[in-house]
Structure 1
């Protein structure tokens, strides 16, 4: 059983909406992760790691309140990336988008079903959430005690499929989006560490970026990561030593897309001397980002 039935991800400017949803769901006996309910538990924790666990592991569903405010906040992007990693990994419904305006959010496809709070009231939204959870209003008697709703597990045979080029293209683009967002957040965090460390990132269009780590003002590590390359359009390449940011003819590592008939995944080239175990793994977008990040930051450990 998940610790929470619903985790709410929102920008501080939209707290009034998040609070109304959280209070109504709690009154129905739903276990909700809402930061104001967790202040004592959050006190003293490493929030970067703890929130990553909440949004990637501990909730049955994640409600995202999508807005202009949501798109530009560092913490909401961190929550979104971890929630997307969970959805990406399980290939199942997990993120429940609720639109507050028309802002496009990276990784949230326009084809994903959503609720628009400009056309739907919170009074109408709550029964839909309860229905998603397999219960109806009043199941918990409004006591705040979670109703016991058994989940019936019915085994369904897996059927292999052939993935289309469109699916592969979207998988590659979403994977690159995870990597790009992961590096942006990682570099922002390094900038807060002090101790002579600094970092910078330069986006080159939508499908390429350059990242640099500095120690006492000197370059300690640098890399260029881009989508596409010599292998196929469905690859993501990594270069450590480059002289021309626009020339993509040399690389030190790469990820390619493969499938087992049930899902798409990334495989590393195995060219990194620390990556023998990674070469045997199937990687989702989050794991692919971690793989490149470990390679990029490795010189700091020497």
Structure 2
């Protein structure tokens, strides 16, 4: 199916600066974005109840919903959300709504299933959402090529200066990494479902720090994967446990521990489990970690 927009943005007016930064950055990457101020002529004189349904139900491949304390207070954002949820139901399990919890918003969103994976962001981090969306549609940022070409003409070598990271920075990186990993694994299971009609899955968001994936084939359980942030031993870490019998409430057993470490002036994730030794993995980005975890659990049932 051909869509008019790659993505539509839904947001409260109080969060316009954040939404506009996302829309502008995506437009610069040649992504077709519905953002109201990009399309004033198309909206002029239209019945908004009809026009917005077209945009959020028919015309858009994805919908980024920016949730905040203001979002559910607005008439038109609730209307947009209602149409987006109806479209999501029609998509039958394929990702459509991409919810963003802004500035620590943690309230319930009526009608939005708690099985949908959220991403959290601060108002100062629109680029985080831009990068995630480009990854979702399989597109690289255009400026990567330009930066590479520019480096060819560098007149001097600029070294990386070592810096130390505060505990607060490490905690924030760990939390964002956890959210990215959960989001990425959610995409992996949806892609698998698209490939194999007999494959099914369930995603249970137990808390904001713990998620359970359960995978089925022909109605039979393949494996479960519990991922959570554990702070009981050496500080906050990402723990994972996979197998056919998972106790959701018991968090003392794990197959894998992912910690945050400083490496060459950056924060990276490092595996401390047995899989790390057998697979020869080292310092990883959140995306590489998600791929590593997915490969590990798929080895249980794939051939």
The question of whether the paired residues in 2 share the 8 Å contact of 1:266 and 1:288 is answered with yes
Q: What's the Cα RMSD here?
A: 4.1
Q: CA deviation at 1:77?
A: 5.0
For 1:219 and 1:290, the matched residues in 2 are separated by 21
Aligned: 1:248 with 2:248: no
* Partner-residue secondary structure (3-state), 1:246: coil
Shift of the alpha carbon at 1:163?
A: 1.0
Deviation, 1:214, is 0.8
Q: State how 1:152-301 maps to structure 2 within 5 Å.
A: 153=154, 154-241=156-243, 242-260=245-263, 262-272=265-275, 275-278=278-281, 281-301=282-302
Contact 2:8 2:64 in 1 (8 A): no
Q: 2:260 aligns to what SS in structure 1?
A: strand
2: distance between equivalents of 1:282 and 1:230?
23
Aligned length: 197
After TM superposition, the structure 1 = structure 2 runs for residues 1-302 of structure 1, keeping only pairs within 5 Å, are 11-12=7-8, 33-34=30-31, 68=66, 74=95, 77=98, 106-112=119-125, 153=154, 154-241=156-243, 242-260=245-263, 262-272=265-275, 275-278=278-281, 281-302=282-303
> Given the two structures, how large is their TM-score scaled by the length of structure 1?
0.53
Larger relative contact order (Cα-Cα within 8 Å, sequence gap ≥ 6): 1
- Determine if contact 1:203/1:210 at 8 Å carries over to the other structure: yes
Structure 1 residue runs of 4 or more that deviate by more than 6 Å after TM superposition? 69-73
Per-residue CA distance 1:27-48 (angstroms, 9 max, x = gap): xxxxx53469xxxxxxxxxxxx
Superposition deviation, residue 187 in structure 1: 2.3
C-alpha distance 113-198 of structure 1, shift in aligned 2 (>3 A): closer
TM-score when scaled to structure 2? 0.53
Unaligned ranges ≥5, structure 1: 1-8, 26-31, 37-64, 81-104, 115-132, 134-148
Unpaired segments ≥5 residues, structure 2 = 11-19, 34-62, 67-79, 89-94, 101-117, 128-142, 144-148
In 2, the alpha carbon distance for the partners of 1:193 and 1:213 equals 14
Q: Distance in 2 between matches of 1:191 and 1:295?
A: 18
